[in-house]
């Protein structure tokens, strides 16, 4: 569940009662109540997500806890790439509108991991790895609005054209 600002709430708690951590390190913001903004790893860099709520032990100190575990390098090269694209041409026209609002949303990224090869340091073989990932977002969007302007009579105080409340008759 999310609140009006998009913050995540778990188990009926408010968003400020949910703790977040990445690889065991808390992302709590000490200046305001809640998690740090943009302190979450890219979806390509997440290996595991664990959500706990209710009866948490003292380790979590909150009603709910979301723990991210990130990926790591291995002896084998591995990687991935992705792109997610939306635009107005792919969207339906909004009901009662004759045109579509301009929109362009593009999320892209990838990851790469593997062994670190350091010549003359043979003792590091099979012990030194790397992993990196990147995620980018580009978004331009507008929202169509339909605004109702009061008529001259309504602006003058004559509201008789408005819908009558149930049970009330016009005189």
Do 101 and 133 lie in a common domain?
yes
Give the pLDDT score at 42: 80
Q: Which of 7, 41, 70 is the last residue of a domain?
A: 70
Rounded to an integer, what is the distance from CA 46 to the centroid of its chain? 14
Do 94 and 136 lie in a common domain?
yes
Give the pLDDT score at 25: 78
What is the chain's pLDDT, residue by residue, as a tens digit (171 residues)? 667 777 777 777 777 777 788 887 777 766 666 566 666 678 888 889 888 777 766 666 677 778 888 888 888 899 999 999 888 888 888 788 887 878 888 999 999 998 888 777 776 778 888 999 999 989 887 777 777 888 888 889 888 877 664 544 554
Give the pLDDT score at 81: 93
Look at residue 148 and give its three-state secondary structure: coil
Residue 167 domain-assigned? no
Residue 153 domain-assigned? no
d(CA 157, CA 86) in angstroms, rounded, equals: 46
Q: Can you give the pTM of this predicted structure?
A: 0.57
Residue 19 domain-assigned? yes
Residue 98 domain-assigned? yes
Do 62 and 88 lie in a common domain?
no
Give the pLDDT score at 108: 93
Do 54 and 25 lie in a common domain?
yes
Structural domain total, the chain: 2
Burial 39-67 (b: 16+ CB within 10 A, else e): eebbebbeeeeeebbeeeeeebebbbbbb
Residue 151 domain-assigned? no
Give the pLDDT score at 32: 65
The length of the chain is 171
d(CA 38, CA 21) in angstroms, rounded, equals: 12
Do 47 and 64 lie in a common domain?
yes
Do 55 and 87 lie in a common domain?
no
Burial class (CB in 10 A: 0-12, 13-18, 19+), 132: middle
Residue 120 domain-assigned? yes
Do 87 and 133 lie in a common domain?
yes
* Residue 50 structural domain: 15-70
Do 42 and 88 lie in a common domain?
no
């Amino acid at each position: 569940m999310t609140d009006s600002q998009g913050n995540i709430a778990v188990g009926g708690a408010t968003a400020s009662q949910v703790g977040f951590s990445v690889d065991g390190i808390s992302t709590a913001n000490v200046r305001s109540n809640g998690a740090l903004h943009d302190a979450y790893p890219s979806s390509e860099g997440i290996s595991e997500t664990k959500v706990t709520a209710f009866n948490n032990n003292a380790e979590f100190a909150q009603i709910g806890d979301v723990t991210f575990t990130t990926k790591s390098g291995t002896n084998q090269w591995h990687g991935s790439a992705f792109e997610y694209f939306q635009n107005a041409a792919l969207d339906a026209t909004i009901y009662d509108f004759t045109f579509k609002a301009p929109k362009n949303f593009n999320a892209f990224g990838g990851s790469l991991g593997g062994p670190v090869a350091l010549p003359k340091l043979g003792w590091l073989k099979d012990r030194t790895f790397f992993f990196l990932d990147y995620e980018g977002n580009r978004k331009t969007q507008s929202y169509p609005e339909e605004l109702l302007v009061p008529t001259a009579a309504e602006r003058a105080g004559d509201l008789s054209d408005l819908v009558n409340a149930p049970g009330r008759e016009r005189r």
